[in-house]
Amino acid sequence: MSQAQTDSKTSFVLRRGRPHELGLLATLSTDVFHPRGAWFSILQNVKHTLIVWDLQAQFYNRFYKWPEIASSFEPPISEYRYALLVASLSNGNAIGMTELCVAPCPIDKDVLEGLGLSLSAPYLSNLAVMEKYRMEGIGKALVRWCEELSIEWGHSVIFLHVDVANVNAINFYKRLGFQQQTRDVTWYKRIGREDMSEQDQIVMYKLLDSNLHSLKDGKAIQDDDLSLQE
């Protein structure tokens, strides 16, 4: 999908991420979640650089090796779906991004069964928009594209995590129709990310309508954009 957005102050395009820009996207995401400090804030800037390097390696692995990564999940899944999605200016420069993959659902099995959902579903992560381009519908457009892709992949729900203290992000997703759910703390171990298990996050999910309005009519979707979300 490559779609010009014309109704916001900034004209932007939605497209798939490209191999040569993985480092730039890692910097974009890190700038949103772990901003650089002043020039004299040596420790903060060193931390920023290390996070960029680590995130670039993660992007590289997911971009090129997703089937290998997904095959190690518990429970194992055979649907190796992954998409790196970008919002960019007309000159190609990325101003926003997110990732979408099919992964084990991060809520308890009993809850999933009560909702009539399967054990795996699309999972949205790393939604980030550059500060100067927020409040223009870019974050919402990326989320809507993730919803469309999830439906195209044959799923009826989409999941994500948000830091419990990030009220702006929680409210952003609630406005888009997401609901809050108690997380399954074993989920991180099942996807090989024990390092994240102590983070205080909540799960949000949205049941999807197969008649979801398409972005292909060329209209930007106006709403508050996300500033921070894990």
Predicted pLDDT at 21: 97
The contacts of residue 38 (CB under 8 Å, 6+ apart) are none
Predicted pLDDT at 20: 96
Q: Cα–Cα distance between 133 and 88 in angstroms, integer? A: 10
Predicted pLDDT at 55: 94
More confident residue, 156 or 198: 156
* 223 occurs within a structural domain: no
- The pLDDT mean for the chain works out to 84
Could you tell me the CATH number of the domain that includes residue 29? 3.40.630.30
Number of structural domains (the chain) is 1
Confidence band for 215, pLDDT divided at 50, 70 and 90: very low
- The secondary structure element, H or E, covering residue 110 is helix 109-115
Structural domain boundaries, residue 167: 3-217
* 52 occurs within a structural domain: yes
Predicted pLDDT at 112: 82
* 96 occurs within a structural domain: yes
Structure tokens at 124: 């949205």
What are the pLDDT digits (tens) for 9-59? 789 999 999 999 999 999 999 999 888 888 778 888 899 999 999 999 999
151, 162 contact by CB (below 8 A): no
Q: Is the pLDDT of residue 117 over 70?
A: yes
Predicted pLDDT at 96: 97
What are the pLDDT digits (tens) for 62-76? 999 999 999 988 878
In the predicted model, what is the mean pLDDT of residues 172-200?
Answer: 79
Confidence band for 190, pLDDT divided at 50, 70 and 90: confident
Predicted pLDDT at 106: 86
* 140 occurs within a structural domain: yes
Predicted pLDDT at 3: 53
* 230 occurs within a structural domain: no
126, 29 contact by CB (below 8 A): yes
What are the pLDDT digits (tens) for 132-160? 999 999 999 999 999 999 999 999 999 99
Tell me the residue type at 208.
L
* 222 occurs within a structural domain: no
Triad 135, 39, 132: Cα angle to 5°: 10
* 167 occurs within a structural domain: yes
148, 212 contact by CB (below 8 A): yes
Q: Is the pLDDT of residue 2 over 70?
A: no
Single pTM value for the model: 0.84
Q: Is the pLDDT of residue 230 over 80?
A: no
More confident residue, 154 or 227: 154
In the predicted model, what is the mean pLDDT of residues 184-211?
Answer: 76
